[in-house]
């Protein structure tokens, strides 16, 4: 679209350590609802994020991708499975025991207007992680906050202003600055650019890619927008009804999709060129509910490796 460099930097370019940064194994989240029914939001999800790579998780709204993000950053407690961050099992850690690990992973939320405290200067918001973890104080803290503002393409003077004085794109930059304050290794972007205008989206995506190249960050990029995902990701996981139905390198998913749901998702991507546009069957049918009555449970999708690193959910042979 706009940028010259449209390919993400090669994963793990700066990182010598080849062990995965995050390993999610058989993660489940079941919410109890009325009438003893259960919402299976995340079902037996296993994935890993390597150092310096961007793993995108795509799917329609309601497929559990945000729940997955919240589970990994431990804003929600999983009902099953394990989360290993940088070799440490963080699945059952208490809030207190979790604190040191939070320095390694941060999150950027979807709504840039809700994710900053309206009563705090943005400088305070960005400095808050440093204060909470007692990493810096006084002049040193001020200086680090100013550097963070410059790093995300804002000016240091902006630190004194309040969130309502910024546009959506600027606010998302501020949220990224806050996420970077503790120099984390993993940044979870939960629909981080979905609420922005397309041109602003491109700027923020470029910023995220630059920061990745600079700091060797890993991203877990949650999105429903395949155009954005194609731009930023190294690998892609497709989620449907709480389960991963296809996972593989970006090229495999976009050029050689195997699962019928992935194919349909790709067909729904708008094409900017009218000559290439043709009538396509769009995803009009609603996704079935992840709500299951007492004693019922969703059928588990088995993944088969069709080529190295490319896993596809085995489908029942029905039309």
Partner 1 sequence: MTDVMMPDQQELVPAGRDAWRMFLRNRAAVAGLIMFFGILFMTFFGPMLYDEDPNDIVARPFLEPGTEGAPAMGTDYLGRDVLAGVINGGSTTLTVAAIAAVMIVAIGVTIGALAGFYGGTVDTVLMRFTEFFQVLPALLFAMVVVTLFEPSARTISIAIGLVLWPSLARLTRAEFLRLRNLEFVKAARAIGSTDLRIISRVIFPNALPPLIVSTTLVMGAAILFEAGLAFLGLGDPNTLSWGLMIGLNRGNFLNAWWTVTFPGLAIFITVLSFSLIGDGLQDAFNPKLRGR
Contacting positions for partner 1 (CB under 8 A)? 73, 75, 95, 98-99, 102-103, 106-107, 109-111, 114-121, 123-125, 127-129, 132-133, 141-142, 145-146, 156, 159-160, 162, 175, 178, 182
Tell the smallest beta-carbon distance from residue 106 to partner 1 (Å). 6
Strand 235-240 to 243-249 pairing: antiparallel
Joined together, the tokens standing for residue 9 give 């930097």
Sheet holding 22-32, edge to edge: 88-89, 80-85, 22-32, 38-49, 291-292
Name the residue nearer to partner 1 (CB basis): 108 or 226.
108
Residue that is written with structure tokens 């069957």 in the block: 281
- The answer to whether 157 and 76 have CB atoms below 8 angstroms apart is no
Tell the smallest beta-carbon distance from residue 287 to partner 1 (Å). 24
Tell the smallest beta-carbon distance from residue 315 to partner 1 (Å). 36
Question: What DSSP string describes 211-264?
Answer: HHHHH--EEEEEES-HHHHHHH-SEEEEEETTEEEEEEEHHHHHHS--SHHHHH
Name the residue nearer to partner 1 (CB basis): 74 or 235.
74
Name the residue nearer to partner 1 (CB basis): 175 or 236.
175
Tell the smallest beta-carbon distance from residue 178 to partner 1 (Å). 7
Tell the smallest beta-carbon distance from residue 39 to partner 1 (Å). 17
Name the residue nearer to partner 1 (CB basis): 142 or 287.
142
Question: What DSSP string describes 26-73?
Answer: EEEEEEE-GGG-EEEEEEEEEEEE-TT-EEEEE--TTSSHHHHHHHHT
Name the residue nearer to partner 1 (CB basis): 124 or 264.
124
Joined together, the tokens standing for residue 263 give 């194919």
Name the residue nearer to partner 1 (CB basis): 41 or 241.
41
Round the CA-based radius of gyration of the chain to a whole number and report it.
20
Tell the smallest beta-carbon distance from residue 126 to partner 1 (Å). 10
- The answer to whether 266 and 229 have CB atoms below 8 angstroms apart is no
- Residues forming a β-bridge with 307: 310
């Amino acid at each position: 679209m706009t940028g010259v460099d449209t390919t993400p930097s090669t994963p793990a370019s700066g990182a010598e350590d080849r062990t995965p940064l995050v390993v999610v194994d058989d993660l489940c989240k079941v919410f109890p609802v009325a009438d003893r029914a259960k919402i299976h939001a995340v079902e037996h999800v296993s994935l890993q994020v390597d150092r310096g790579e961007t793993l995108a998780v795509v799917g329609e709204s309601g497929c559990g991708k945000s729940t997955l993000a919240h589970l990994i950053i431990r804003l929600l407690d999983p009902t099953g499975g394990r989360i290993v961050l940088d070799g440490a099992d963080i699945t059952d850690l208490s809030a207190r025991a979790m604190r040191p690990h939070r320095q390694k992973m941060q999150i950027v939320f979807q709504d840039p207007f809700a994710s900053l405290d309206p009563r705090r200067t943005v400088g305070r918001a960005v400095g808050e992680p440093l204060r909470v973890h007692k990493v810096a104080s006084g002049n040193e803290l001020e200086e680090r906050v100013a550097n963070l503002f410059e790093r995300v393409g804002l000016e240091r003077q902006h630190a004194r202003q309040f969130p309502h004085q910024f546009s959506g794109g600027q606010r998302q930059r501020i949220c990224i600055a806050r996420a970077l304050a503790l120099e984390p290794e993993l940044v979870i972007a939960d629909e981080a650019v979905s609420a922005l205008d397309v041109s602003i989206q491109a700027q923020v995506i470029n910023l995220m890619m630059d920061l990745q190249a600079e700091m060797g960050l890993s991203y877990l990029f949650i999105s429903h927008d395949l155009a954005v995902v194609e731009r930023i990701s190294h690998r892609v996981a497709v989620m449907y009804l709480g389960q991963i139905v296809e996972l593989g390198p970006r090229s495999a998913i976009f050029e050689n999709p195997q699962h019928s749901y992935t194919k349909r998702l790709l067909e729904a991507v708008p094409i900017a060129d009218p000559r290439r546009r043709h009538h396509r069957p769009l995803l009009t049918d609603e996704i079935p509910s992840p709500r299951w009555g007492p004693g019922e449970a969703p059928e588990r999708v088995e993944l088969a490796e069709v080529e190295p690193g490319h896993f596809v959910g085995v489908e029942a042979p029905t039309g």
